[in-house]
Structure 1
Amino acid sequence: MKVAVLDSKGKETGRKVELSDDVFGIEPNNHAVYLDVKQYLAHQRQGTHKSKERAEIAGSTRKIKKQKGTGTARAGSIKSPIFKGGGRIFGPRPRDYQQKLNKNVKRLARKSALSIKNKEKAIVVVEDFNFESPKTKDFIQVLRSLGLENKKSLFVLGDSNNNVYLSSRNLKRSEVVINSELSTYKILNNNNIVLFEGALAGIESNLTK
């Protein structure tokens, strides 16, 4: 599939690039997409949640009232979970949320996500550009030229470009990554994908190993 290459002003350059059908034109595998997104979200969790149980509560260990004759239930410790300020029953403990996923499944998921976006005509290819210095207004002008000013967009670079990255950092609806950082979640979490021309070779190489 051939796609026109645009410049940073949103105009056609007169050139076209070939998008590999093995990456951008496959039949999406929804289960692979689900597994990869699930893993990505799980890895965002710190797992540092913790509450104190009765053995960790600071408090007197004396028996707070006699065993019989009070007309109420027995109670042996002020740290009991049934009392205010007592420990928590089966509270959360620190844990690792990391999940394992086969590399082939991850590649299939990313190819599926790109194929979905390509089918929706939500992928744009632009020639590589740079800014003289990091300026948010310059990046906003690029978004406006591409018709993406009010849409969530993901820009995929071929190599690290500090000026472009810093220019986009203050914009909530735009994100800039290099091709090796591309993930299924980021692809699907944005309305449009803007691929730098220099990123295509890296994406196809990473996903067709």
Structure 2
Amino acid sequence: MTELNVLNSKFESKEKIKVDFDFSPESINVPVVHQVVKATLAGRRQGNAHTKTKAEVSGGGKKPFKQKGTGNARQGSTRSPLMPGGGTVFGPRKRSFEQKVNKKVMLNAIKSVLVDKQLAGKLIIVDSLVSTGKTKDMATLLESKNLMNSLVVTLDSASLVIRAVKNLRTAKGLGVDNLSVYEAVKYENLIIEKLAFEKLTNKLV
């Protein structure tokens, strides 16, 4: 059982909440976090590079020259990889780079990131984030608290907070259901609404 501080919308201390899992350095699983981050980046690769083989290149129905007497090596098709304009051998093909990540592995990675952020003093739980949807106001608030490099996580993915953070270069907003381990690792601070944090930790216990 661990007690964590909860701040109000102005990032001032408000209350404490208890979490059922252990926030010790031993509970951080670095290889699992690396696996999930690697899988996330692999899934973002397009894999659109595609070359045509001899069978896919158009033409080539006619023998380019007679079998004997030319001094050249015999050829049966102008689409041969040996001929100009022919097919490509062992070239790149369209493919998916997605890697499967089991649910338990993903949850373990999320827990590891939360523990790491907490131990580093970079986990900020806010009772409720309030925003008008204006980027300028959100930037002023984060800058005043030295939290410009932050991932902001809300309970509702359609929150005005996410809209306000959207145009900030050094920050990003996500709904708790779309939380990305890669994004959590990428940004220095993790700012999360209390209800979003409780929803997340209920999955981890």
Counterpart secondary structure, 1:195: strand
What is residue 141 of structure 2 aligned with on the other side? 142
Is 2:191 aligned against 1:190? no
What is residue 7 of structure 2 aligned with on the other side? 6
**Shift, 1:100, TM fit:** 2.9
**Shift, 1:48, TM fit:** 4.2
What is residue 59 of structure 1 aligned with on the other side? 59
RMSD of aligned alpha carbons: 2.4
Check conservation: 2:124, 2:190, Cα contact below 8 A.
Answer: yes
Partner AA of 2:178 in structure 1: E
Q: CA 1:55 to 1:167, structure 2 compared with 1: closer, same or farther past 3 Å?
A: same
| Identity across the alignment (%) | 36
**Shift, 1:46, TM fit:** 4.1
Q: TM-score, normalised by structure 1?
A: 0.83
Counterpart secondary structure, 1:128: coil
Check conservation: 1:9, 1:146, Cα contact below 8 A.
Answer: no
Which aligned runs of 4 or more in structure 1 are off by greater than 4 angstroms?
Answer: none
Counterparts of 1:28 and 1:3, CA distance in 2: 18
Is 2:175 aligned against 1:178? yes
Counterparts of 1:189 and 1:158, CA distance in 2: 20
Check conservation: 1:8, 1:142, Cα contact below 8 A.
Answer: no
Check conservation: 1:9, 1:145, Cα contact below 8 A.
Answer: no
Deviations 1:133-192 (A, max 9, x none): x2111121122122023x2x2111123343111111122321111222223222212111
**Shift, 1:14, TM fit:** 4.0
Q: TM-score, normalised by structure 2?
A: 0.84
**Shift, 1:129, TM fit:** 2.4
Counterparts of 1:33 and 1:119, CA distance in 2: 16
Higher relative contact order (CA 8 A, sep 6+): 1
What is residue 156 of structure 2 aligned with on the other side? 159
Counterpart secondary structure, 1:45: coil
Is 2:74 aligned against 1:74? yes
